Amino acid sequence: MATGSCRQRVTVLGATGSIGQSTLDVIARHPDQYCVHALVAHRSVDDMVMLCQQHQPKLAIMACPDAAQQLASKLAHTAPSVRVQQGEDASIAAVSCAEVDTVMAAVVGFAGLKPALAAAQAGKRLLLANKEALVSAGAVFMTAVEQGGCTLLPIDSEHNAMFQCLTADERARPDMSSVEKIILTASGGPFRGWRRIDLDGVTPAQACAHPNWSMGRKISVDSATLMNKGLELAEACWLFRQSPEDIEVVVHPQSIVHSMIRYRDGSVLAQLGNPDMRTPIAYGLAWPSRVSAGVAPLNIVACGRLDFQSPDLDAFPCLRLAQEAIGQAGGMCALNAANEVAVAAFLDGLIRFTDIDRLNEAVLTDTPSKEPTTLTEVEQLDGQARQRAHEWLAKQKRVLSQRAE
């Protein structure tokens, strides 16, 4: 991997995940334009070894100390030039340092908030694939973007599609003056068309089997419950400074139209493409230009048809909960925290699929909150909601135990 001629030096947060690996695939296609400064992961040592050998970053950072020790040992002979570090402080330094031009924020969940915020404060080109930075800390995060001079480029396929259908200034701030409606598309997940009563017995394996996208387990479950679309709704409100009423959610099973913008003159602009995350990643890396992403061209004739329908909020109430939470002070922060606990419990076999929205609603109802204005307040509200979620789980366990006796 060339270094001296690189136009952009990139730190990848969440390097071993699907978004991280897709980012590295695009970077490897353009060694004259991009190089890797740092790779950051949690505990996937073997995957990190392979990535370090292939991309030769200056730094490899593991959140888990034991994983960092194992990585250092394995790289000592195969990639000795790679320095291994550990912990959140190292991750924050790797996105903030003067050597870095671009940061891919692809850590899943609330854990990705601090390094993404640090990149915004440092004024980097920030490719944001971590929803929670905006969902949990929207006001704090967008203030950091403005004050830090950050160039914020959304990487979620839907928000990237919206951005591609808008005009923007030199700092990627979109012009919303002529926009009448944002149309946010959803695949509907693996259970589209199912009745609520049929969802009780859904297994984690079924919920993680997305029909169109290859994603991690947590985001796959969120897609199955439509919570992912609720998180994206909140994210779009912050990115494009719109209210929930300005954004319409439609189910589009083929995942070819990634979102649309309706303008005041009646025009509707849509971004279409095969469901491959390398397209928005390449767009974010190269903006305002474009580079090859390695994605197969869309054969619109072979698609045959494009279907659209309204979401079923009775069968999948998580989207409704998100719509309500956006209007509540701190509501999305609490709902996101509860949902992370709920999804983990479902994947561990502790609750049913339909208990996810029940837990979420209980926490959203029971967590008193105000809109957090500092990172400390965000962390406090997140902690309170997680505590209430665990209390709900403990109560459910007692109820089930009593029924079994």
CATH number of the CATH domain containing 379: 1.10.1740.10
pLDDT of 400: 66
What local confidence, expressed as pLDDT, does residue 65 receive? 95
Q: pLDDT of the chain along its 405 residues, tens only?
A: 344 455 799 999 999 999 999 999 999 999 999 999 999 999 899 999 999 999 999 999 999 999 999 999 999 999 999 999 999 999 999 999 999 999 999 998 788 899 999 999 999 999 999 888 899 999 999 999 999 999 999 999 999 999 999 999 999 999 999 999 999 999 999 999 999 999 999 999 999 988 776 678 898 999 999 999 999 999 999 999 999 999 999 999 999 999 999 999 999 999 999 999 999 999 999 999 999 999 999 999 999 999 999 999 999 999 999 999 999 999 999 999 999 999 999 999 999 999 999 999 999 999 877 889 999 999 999 999 999 999 999 998 887 666 555
Tokens of 289: 């230009």
**Dihedral pair phi/psi, residue 40, rounded to 5°:** -125, 130
Separation CA 322–CA 88 (nearest Å) = 29
Kindly state whether residues 179 and 298 are assigned to the same domain.
Answer: yes
Structural domain span for residue 25: 8-155
Does some domain include residue 148? Answer: yes
Contact criterion met (CB below 8 Å) for 278 and 30: no
Confidence (pLDDT) at 6: 53
Q: Please report whether residue 293 resides in a domain.
A: yes
The CATH number of the domain where 135 resides is what?
A: 3.40.50.720
**Amino acid identity, position 132:** E
Q: Do 301 and 341 belong to one domain?
A: no
- Domain total of the chain: 3
Q: Where are the alpha helices (DSSP H) in 196-276?
A: 204-207, 217-225, 227-240
Say yes or no: 175 and 254 in one domain.
Answer: yes
Q: Does 66 reside within a domain?
A: yes
Of 98, 131, 155, the last residue of a domain is 155
Alpha-carbon distance of 368 to 53, in angstroms, equals 49
Choose the final residue of a domain: 327, 352, 379: 327
Contact between 99 and 37 (Cβ < 8 Å): yes
- Note whether residue 63 is domain-resident: yes
Strands 179-186 and 257-263: antiparallel
The contacts found for 47-54 with CB under 8 angstroms, 24 or more apart, are 47/16, 48/15, 48/16, 49/74, 49/75, 49/78, 49/79, 51/15, 51/16, 51/21, 51/24, 52/79, 52/82, 53/78, 53/79, 54/24, 54/28
Kindly state whether residues 307 and 351 are assigned to the same domain: no
Which tokens go with 173? 């701030």
In this structure, the answer to whether residues 77 and 225 fall within a common structural domain is: no
Residues 160 and 133 reside in one and the same domain: no
Q: Which two tokens stand for residue 94?
A: 């790797």
User: Same domain, yes or no, for 30 and 150?
Assistant: yes
One domain for residues 230 and 375: no
CA distance 350 to 342: 9
Same domain, 87 and 160: no
- Say yes or no: 138 and 186 in one domain: no
- 151 in the same domain as 67: yes
* Residue 3 is assigned to a structural domain of this protein: no
Chosen domain end from 302, 327, 352: 327
**404 within domain boundaries:** no
The answer to whether residue 287 is domain-embedded is: yes
Whether residue 405 is contained in a domain is answered as no
* Residues 133 and 189 grouped into a single domain: no
